[in-house]
């Protein structure tokens, strides 16, 4: 039977031969594919369903007070170690020795903790450490493992609902951990709403402002800095992924960056010197913070809601590209090592995260120039050639965009072949999706040219899509990414 008449957002007819008709097909397939449970909260609408989790929006989940007694000390010790050794390569805002001391206290007091005022908050942090570590124990966790991770999250949620008194640093840390866990579970809308609470709590206790280090102990100084800048980076990524305004604004911030020292070097009254050999695990987080500050300017300048001339847009792209290239040169010894010796897991994770983030930020900088003539697919017209110099600059931006996308697909391929691609890696899936979209769109644009001009890009996008589909679970963001990519792939082949 013939397809029903399609119209664009303005109500204009779009025939099946139109170069943009596949965008409407994608929207239709998403509407058919994504079903939302009745009674879903406005704060989580559109998120992947999770057992027990959605009911807690209307009623408090049952929390078994004997859960503390059922937790094996060896299991929780293993989870804490996994958290610091693998689960959080760049969001390292917890102090390992402090968390280990809290874990000891949890068992010594049978869950009561010594200080009753902040007992719920500290215990919630521990349960979120367990939840995140559990989600990162294997590339494809079993349903039982996933269920345990959810239960840890629910325990933390109920503990935080019982918080009383002043806002504490741990109150914000626990909620940031919840945000990271929600992202790993395809709950980006839930994450975004919870992040709003965490960010306002951070403002309330002045995490965005620097404080004199002699007034509080060094552990708290460093944790305040680490926590704020992790929140700042997450704010940028949520803004980028959802296309919504950021919560933190650079003009309001004078917080200092964390010190490049490992946790065991930080003591209450001093920071001990580290070894001259080896690399600090905090180099990765600090490097990510510096890139995130560049990203914040890209979001403000390149993606401003205010009208910008094409020359200004290209000037911004040139400035930010230079900043990114200089950023990478500063850490080239880590991101592009001359030796192929295997890295320890946490450094390998940091290397992958930073490389992917770098290439995706490069895509973000140059993507508008690749998409500049996408609307012309509808009528088959070509861009004007009255400004050859500007067109040459545009082509250079397109080249940078394609190079970045190809580097992302190569990194994802290496991770996939090495068994390093975990379902919990929300950022990797998003970056891979963005890269594959770029490659498919370019293929569609170049469909009238010789196949050798786009065949390599098409092959890389198809491979990346296949690898993502192997990670996809029903209802997850990755499954939706794959649905969009499949329509793009079919359109590329049709063209």
Contacts of the segment 243-252: beta carbons below 8 A, 24+ positions apart: 244/192, 246/296, 246/299, 247/195, 247/196, 247/199, 247/200, 248/199, 248/208, 250/293, 250/296, 250/297, 252/208
Q: Are residues 317 and 263 in the same domain?
A: no
Give yes or no for residue 410 having a pLDDT over 50. yes
Inside any domain, residue 8: no
The mean pLDDT value for 218-247 works out to 96
Q: Are residues 30 and 52 in the same domain?
A: no
Q: Are residues 73 and 218 in the same domain?
A: yes
Of 248, 267, 301, which one is at a domain's C-terminal end?
301
Residue-level pLDDT at 112? 87
Q: Who contacts 141 (Cβ-Cβ below 8 Å, separation ≥6)?
A: 134, 135, 149, 423, 424
Q: Are residues 312 and 208 in the same domain?
A: no
Distances (CA, A) of 215 to 212, 220, 221, 253, 268: 6, 10, 9, 20, 11
Residue 6: what are its φ and ψ, rounded to 5°?
A: -110, 145
**Which residues are paired to 271 by β-bridges?**
266
Give yes or no for residue 378 having a pLDDT over 80. no
Of 301, 335, 355, which one is at a domain's C-terminal end?
301
Inside any domain, residue 364: yes
Q: How many domains does the structure of the chain reveal?
A: 2
Q: Are residues 28 and 56 in the same domain?
A: no
Inside any domain, residue 99: yes
Q: Are residues 320 and 355 in the same domain?
A: yes
Selected residue with higher pLDDT from 35 and 274: 274
pLDDT, mean over the chain: 86
Inside any domain, residue 6: no
Domain around 93: 47-301
Give the closest residue to 334 by CA, choosing from 310, 303, 355: 355
**Which residues are paired to 266 by β-bridges?**
271
pLDDT in tens, 135-190: 999 988 888 888 899 999 999 999 999 898 999 999 999 999 999 999 999 899 99
Entry pTM: 0.89
The mean pLDDT value for 366-370 works out to 90
The mean pLDDT value for 472-486 works out to 89
Inside any domain, residue 83: yes
Of 242, 269, 301, which one is at a domain's C-terminal end?
301
Neighbour count for residue 150 (Cβ, 10 Å):
20
Inside any domain, residue 384: yes
The mean pLDDT value for 319-324 works out to 98
Residue-level pLDDT at 494? 86
Residue located via tokens 């309001």:
252
Annotate 246-257 with b (16+ C-beta within 10 A) or e (fewer): bbbeeeebebee
Q: In this prediction, what percent of the chain has a pLDDT beyond 70?
A: 81
Inside any domain, residue 330: yes
pLDDT in tens, 80-110: 999 999 999 999 999 999 999 999 999 999 8
Q: Are residues 228 and 312 in the same domain?
A: no
Half-sphere exposure at residue 155, Cβ-oriented, CA atoms within 13 angstroms: 23
Q: Are residues 310 and 400 in the same domain?
A: yes
Contacts of the segment 479-483: beta carbons below 8 A, 24+ positions apart: 479/33, 480/30, 480/33, 480/34, 481/429, 481/430, 481/432, 481/433, 483/26, 483/29, 483/30, 483/33
Residue-level pLDDT at 359? 98
């Amino acid at each position: 039977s013939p397809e029903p008449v399609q119209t664009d957002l303005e109500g204009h007819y779009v025939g099946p031969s139109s170069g943009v008709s596949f965008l409407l097909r994608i929207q239709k397939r998403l509407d058919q594919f994504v079903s939302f449970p009745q009674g879903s909260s406005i704060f989580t609408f559109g998120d992947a369903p999770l057992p027990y989790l959605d009911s807690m929006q209307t009623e408090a989940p049952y929390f078994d007070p004997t859960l503390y007694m059922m937790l094996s000390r060896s299991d929780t010790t293993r989870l804490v170690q996994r958290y610091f050794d693998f689960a959080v390569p760049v969001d390292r805002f917890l102090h390992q020795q402090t968390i280990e001391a809290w874990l000891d206290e949890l068992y010594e007091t049978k869950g009561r903790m010594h200080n009753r005022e902040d007992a719920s908050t500290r215990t919630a942090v521990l349960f979120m450490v367990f939840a995140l570590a559990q989600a990162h124990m294997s590339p494809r966790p079993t349903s039982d493992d996933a269920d345990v991770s959810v239960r840890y999250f629910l325990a933390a949620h109920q503990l935080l609902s019982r918080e009383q008194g002043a806002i504490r640093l741990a109150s914000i840390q626990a909620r940031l951990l919840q945000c990271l866990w929600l992202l790993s579970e395809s709950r980006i809308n839930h994450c975004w709403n919870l992040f709003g609470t965490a960010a306002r709590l951070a403002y309330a206790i002045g995490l965005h402002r620097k404080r004199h280090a002699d007034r509080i102990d060094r552990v708290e100084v460093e944790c305040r800095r680490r926590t704020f800048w992790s929140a700042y980076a997450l704010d940028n990524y949520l803004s980028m992924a959802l296309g919504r305004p950021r919560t933190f604004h650079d003009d309001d911030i004078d917080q200092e960056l964390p010190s490049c020292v490992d946790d065991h070097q930080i003591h209450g009254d001093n920071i001990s010197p580290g070894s001259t050999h080896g690399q600090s695990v905090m180099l990765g987080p600090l490097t990510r913070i510096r890139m995130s500050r560049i990203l914040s300017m890209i979001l403000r300048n390149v993606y401003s809601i205010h009208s910008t001339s094409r020359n200004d847009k290209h000037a911004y792209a040139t400035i930010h590209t230079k900043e990114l290239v200089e950023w990478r040169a500063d850490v080239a010894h880590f991101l592009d090592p001359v030796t192929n010796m295997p890295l320890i897991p946490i450094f390998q994770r940091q290397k992958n995260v930073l490389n992917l983030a770098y290439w995706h930020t490069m895509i973000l900088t140059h993507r508008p120039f690749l998409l500049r003539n996408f609307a012309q697919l509808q009528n088959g017209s070509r861009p004007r050639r009255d400004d050859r110099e500007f067109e040459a600059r545009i082509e250079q931006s397109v080249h940078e965009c394609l190079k970045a996308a190809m580097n992302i697909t190569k990194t994802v391929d290496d991770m996939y072949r090495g068994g390093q691609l975990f379902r919990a890696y929300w950022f990797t899936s998003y970056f891979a999706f963005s890269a594959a979209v770029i490659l498919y769109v370019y293929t569609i644009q170049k469909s009238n040219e010789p196949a050798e001009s786009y065949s390599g890009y098409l092959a890389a996008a198809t491979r990346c899509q296949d690898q993502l589909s192997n990670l996809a679970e029903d209802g997850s963001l990755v499954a939706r990414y794959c649905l969009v990519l499949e329509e793009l792939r079919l359109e590329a082949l049709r063209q």
